[in-house]
C-alpha cells in the first residue's frame, strides 16, 4: 500500500493529481498563515491600544520569517530530494535525507532560540520598533521563541509528508494547530486579559500540537519514509545536497526579514509609527495573495520531482504547464482584488481610521506587481523540484536583494515615503521578466537528464 501511494505520482492522471495534491497544500498554507493573521486581527481590535499593539507585532515579523526560513532550508531542501529518490525507487536514501533534515531542524531551533532571546531587543529596534511599541514587540516574540522547536518541526517536516503523496495528512497537521490557535486566541487575549502575550502563548501551544502530529505520522507505519534514529546521525554528503536546494527557499524567506528591515526603517525615518503599522497590514495582505500560490507550487513540486527521478519528461513538462497556469490565474485574481478593492482587506486588521486610510491608499500600489508574480513562483518552484539549485537561488535573490532593497533605499530620496511603496511593484515586474528569460534559456538542457533516466546520487 505504501509503494502504491508513491507510484500514484507517476501514474495517476495529472488533473486528478493536481487536485489531490495541490488543493490540500493550498489549504495547509492558508491555514498556516492564519497563525499570524489571526493574531494580528485580534490584536488590532484590542481596546485603546490595538493600533500600537498591531504595529509592535508587525516589527516581530522579520524574526518569525527568519525562523520559517531555516525551517524551509531543511524541509524544502530535503523534501524534493526525497521525492526524486522515491521516483528512482531508492527508499533507503530518501529516509536518510529525512533523518538529516530532522537533525538540522533541531540544531537550528536550539541556536535560533538562544540567539534571538539574547539579542531580541536590539534586533527589534533595528527592524523599526520605537519606544512606543517595543513593549508589545518584546512581549510577543519573547514567548514565541520558547515554542520555536515546535514551529520548526511542524513546518520543516510537513513537507516530507506532502512530498510522498500524503498532502491531505499534511493539511490536517496544520489544520489541527490552526483550529486550536483560533479557539485560544480570544480566550487568552480578551477573557484572561493577557493581550499580546496571550496571542503568542496561543500560537506556541497550537504549534506544539501540530509538531506532535507530524512527528507521530513520520514515525508510524502510515508513512512511506520514516524518521529513524540511525539516520539522525549527520551525513555531510547528504547535508550538502540539502543545503544546495535549501538555499533557495531559505533565501526567499530570510531575505523577507532584510526587506522588512529596510522597509520599516525607511518608513520610520520618512513617516512614523502609522506608516510602519500600514506595512504590517500590507505585508499580511501580500501573504494572503502569495500563500495560495505557494501552496499550489509545493503541492505540484513532488509530482515534478518524482517524475523527473523516474525519467518521465512528458509528465514533467505537463506538470509545469499546469503549475504555471494555476499560479498566474491565482495572482491575477487575488492581486486584482487588492488593487481594486483594498478596503476588503484593510477592515480585517484595524479600527484606526488614520491607519486604515493610509493602508487603503497604498495597497493598490504595493500589490500591483503581485498580479503577475504567479509566473515567477511557478518557475522557481519548478527549478527547485528539478534539483536546479543555482537557478532557484538566483531567482530568489533577484526580486528582494538585487532589486527591492536597493529600490526601497533609493526611491524615497527622490519621491519621499511613497517611494518605499513603489519599490515593491517595480521589483516584482522586473524579477518576473528576468526569471522568465532564465527559464526559457535553460529548461531544455535541464530536461535532457530526464530523457536518460539519470540515477540520483546522494
- For 43-71, the pLDDT digits (tens) are 777 776 777 777 777 788 878 888 988 99
**pLDDT of 187 over the 70 cut:** yes
Give the model's pLDDT for residue 7.
41
Give the model's pLDDT for residue 298.
81
**pLDDT of 3 over the 50 cut:** no
**pLDDT of 6 over the 70 cut:** no
Residue written as grid cell 492522471: 13
The arithmetic mean of pLDDT across residues 26-39, rounded, is: 70
How far apart are alpha carbons 443 and 18 in whole angstroms? Answer: 22
Radius of gyration of the chain (CA): 21
Give the model's pLDDT for residue 108.
96
Give the model's pLDDT for residue 425.
94
Counting the structural domains of the chain, the total is 1
The arithmetic mean of pLDDT across residues 107-120, rounded, is: 94
The arithmetic mean of pLDDT across residues 358-377, rounded, is: 93
152 falls within a domain: yes
Q: How many CA atoms lie within 13 A of 411 on its CB side?
A: 21
User: What is the per-residue DSSP string for 166-226?
Assistant: -HHHHHHHHHHHHHHHHHHHHIIIIIS--HHHHHHHHHHHHHHHHHHHHHHHHTSTTSSS-
Give the model's pLDDT for residue 242.
93
Backbone φ/ψ region at 128: left (φ over 0), alpha (ψ -120 to 50), beta: left
pLDDT band at 141 (very low <50, low <70, confident <90, very high): very high
pLDDT band at 429 (very low <50, low <70, confident <90, very high): very high
Alpha-carbon distances of 144 from 41, 69, 154, 202, rounded to whole Å: 17, 16, 14, 9
456 falls within a domain: no
Weakest mean pLDDT among 78-82, 356-360, 447-451: 447-451
- Contact yes or no for 259/66 (Cβ under 8 A): no
Weakest mean pLDDT among 42-51, 133-142, 178-187, 254-263: 42-51
250 falls within a domain: yes
Measured from the Cβ of residue 209, the count of other Cβ atoms closer than 10 Å reads: 18
pLDDT band at 408 (very low <50, low <70, confident <90, very high): very high
What percent of the chain has a predicted confidence (pLDDT) above 90?
Answer: 38
Give the model's pLDDT for residue 256.
73
**pLDDT of 169 over the 70 cut:** yes
Torsion (CA) 64, 95, 301, 149 in degrees, nearest 10: -10
Give the model's pLDDT for residue 424.
93
How far apart are alpha carbons 254 and 66 in whole angstroms? Answer: 5
What percent of the chain has a predicted confidence (pLDDT) above 70?
Answer: 94
> Residues 6 or more apart from 429 whose CB is under 8 A from it?
369, 372
How far apart are alpha carbons 62 and 343 in whole angstroms? Answer: 25
457 falls within a domain: no
Give the three-state DSSP class for 12: coil
Give the model's pLDDT for residue 2.
42
Q: How many residues does the chain have?
A: 458
The arithmetic mean of pLDDT across residues 412-429, rounded, is: 94
> pTM for this one?
0.71
**pLDDT of 456 over the 60 cut:** no
Give the three-state DSSP class for 47: coil
**pLDDT of 368 over the 90 cut:** yes
pLDDT in tens, 266-293: 888 888 878 888 887 898 888 888 888 9
Closest residue by Cα to residue 45 from 258, 190, 225? 190
How far apart are alpha carbons 43 and 349 in whole angstroms? Answer: 8
The arithmetic mean of pLDDT across residues 320-327, rounded, is: 94
Give the model's pLDDT for residue 8.
67
**pLDDT of 451 over the 70 cut:** no
36 falls within a domain: yes
The arithmetic mean of pLDDT across residues 325-348, rounded, is: 91
pLDDT band at 36 (very low <50, low <70, confident <90, very high): low
**pLDDT of 322 over the 80 cut:** yes
Helix-then-strand count for the chain, H and E: 19, 0
The domain containing residue 246 runs over which residues? 2-451
The arithmetic mean of pLDDT across residues 156-173, rounded, is: 83
**pLDDT of 124 over the 50 cut:** yes
Amino acid at each position: 500500500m505504501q509503494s502504491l501511494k508513491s507510484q500514484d505520482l507517476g501514474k495517476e492522471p495529472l488533473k486528478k493529481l493536481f487536485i489531490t495534491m495541490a488543493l490540500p497544500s493550498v489549504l495547509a498554507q492558508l491555514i498556516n498563515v492564519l497563525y499570524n493573521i489571526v493574531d494580528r486581527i485580534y490584536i488590532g481590535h484590542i481596546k485603546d491600544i490595538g493600533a500600537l499593539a498591531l504595529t509592535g507585532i508587525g516589527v516581530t515579523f522579520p524574526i518569525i520569517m527568519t525562523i520559517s526560513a531555516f525551517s524551509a532550508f531543511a524541509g524544502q531542501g530535503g523534501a524534493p530530494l526525497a521525492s526524486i529518490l522515491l521516483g528512482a525507487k531508492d527508499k533507503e536514501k530518501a529516509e536518510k535525507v529525512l533523518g538529516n533534515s530532522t537533525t538540522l531542524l533541531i540544531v537550528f531551533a536550539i541556536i535560533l532560540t538562544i540567539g534571538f532571546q539574547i539579542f531580541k531587543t536590539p534586533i527589534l529596534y533595528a527592524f523599526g520598533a520605537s519606544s512606543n511599541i517595543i513593549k508589545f514587540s518584546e512581549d510577543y516574540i519573547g514567548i514565541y521563541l520558547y515554542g520555536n522547536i515546535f514551529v520548526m518541526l511542524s513546518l520543516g517536516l510537513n513537507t516530507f509528508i506532502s512530498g510522498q503523496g500524503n498532502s491531505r495528512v499534511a493539511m490536517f497537521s496544520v489544520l489541527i494547530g490552526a483550529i486550536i490557535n483560533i479557539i485560544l486566541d480570544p480566550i487568552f487575549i480578551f477573557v484572561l486579559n493577557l493581550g499580546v502575550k496571550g496571542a503568542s502563548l496561543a500560537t506556541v501551544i497550537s504549534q506544539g500540537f501540530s509538531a506532535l502530529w507530524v512527528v507521530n505520522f513520520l514515525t508510524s507505519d502510515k508513512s512511506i519514509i520514516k524518521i529513524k534514529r540511525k539516520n539522525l546521525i549527520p551525513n555531510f554528503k547528504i547535508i550538502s545536497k540539502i543545503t544546495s536546494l535549501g538555499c533557495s527557499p531559505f533565501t526567499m524567506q530570510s531575505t523577507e526579514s532584510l526587506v522588512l528591515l529596510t522597509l520599516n526603517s525607511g518608513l520610520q525615518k520618512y513617516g512614523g509609527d502609522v506608516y510602519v503599522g500600514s506595512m504590517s497590514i500590507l505585508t499580511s495582505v501580500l501573504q494572503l495573495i502569495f500563500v495560495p500560490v505557494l501552496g499550489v507550487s509545493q503541492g505540484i513540486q513532488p509530482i515534478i520531482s518524482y517524475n523527473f527521478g523516474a525519467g518521465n519528461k512528458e509528465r514533467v513538462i505537463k506538470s509545469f504547464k499546469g503549475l504555471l497556469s494555476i499560479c498566474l490565474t491565482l495572482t491575477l485574481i487575488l492581486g486584482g482584488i487588492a488593487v481594486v478593492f483594498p478596503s476588503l482587506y484593510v477592515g480585517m486588521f484595524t479600527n484606526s481610521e488614520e491607519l486604515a486610510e493610509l493602508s487603503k491608499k497604498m495597497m493598490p500600489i504595493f500589490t500591483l506587481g503581485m498580479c503577475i508574480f504567479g509566473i515567477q513562483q511557478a518557475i522557481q518552484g519548478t527549478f527547485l523540484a528539478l534539483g536546479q539549485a543555482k537557478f532557484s537561488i538566483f531567482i530568489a535573490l533577484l526580486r528582494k536583494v538585487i532589486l527591492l532593497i536597493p529600490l526601497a533605499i533609493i526611491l524615497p530620496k527622490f519621491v519621499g515615503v511613497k517611494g518605499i511603496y513603489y519599490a515593491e511593484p517595480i521589483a516584482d515586474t522586473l524579477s518576473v521578466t528576468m526569471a522568465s528569460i532564465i527559464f526559457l534559456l535553460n529548461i531544455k538542457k535541464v530536461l535532457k537528464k530526464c530523457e536518460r533516466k539519470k540515477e540520483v546520487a546522494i
